[in-house]
């Protein structure tokens, strides 16, 4: 499933795409799903919370941060 914040009906992707922010409440998510995410931290936090609420084991959720390298900025010199 694909989501676009705006103009999902004309998005150059698989159709039907959904408009707005990702909402997994009506999407079938198997409890044994292996999930791979990338994106900004607020997106991944929200997606992870939805996945956990749907019964996905946290050990099956992997991620890669898209955005500023906040971790490297916290390493002492």
Q: How do residues 34-77 score in pLDDT, each as one tens digit?
A: 999 887 788 889 999 999 998 899 999 998 876 666 666 666 65
Task: Give residue 23's pLDDT.
Answer: 87
Q: How many helices (H) and strands (E) does the chain have?
A: 2, 4
Query: Which tokens in the block code for residue 63?
Result: 């991620």
63: phi then psi, degrees, rounded to nearest 5: -150, 160
User: For residue 25, what is the DSSP state?
Assistant: G
CA-closest candidate to residue 18, choices 49, 42, 26: 26
CA 23/CA 27 separation, integer angstroms: 8
The answer to whether 29 touches 56, Cβ cutoff 8 Å, is: yes
């Amino acid at each position: 499933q694909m989501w676009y914040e705006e103009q999902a009906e004309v998005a150059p992707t698989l159709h039907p795409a959904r408009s707005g922010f990702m909402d997994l409440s009506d999407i079938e998510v198997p409890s044994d799903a292996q999930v791979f995410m990338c994106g900004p931290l607020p997106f991944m936090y929200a997606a992870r919370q939805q996945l956990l609420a749907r019964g996905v084991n946290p050990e099956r959720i992997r991620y890669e941060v898209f955005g500023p390298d906040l971790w490297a900025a916290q390493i002492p010199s």
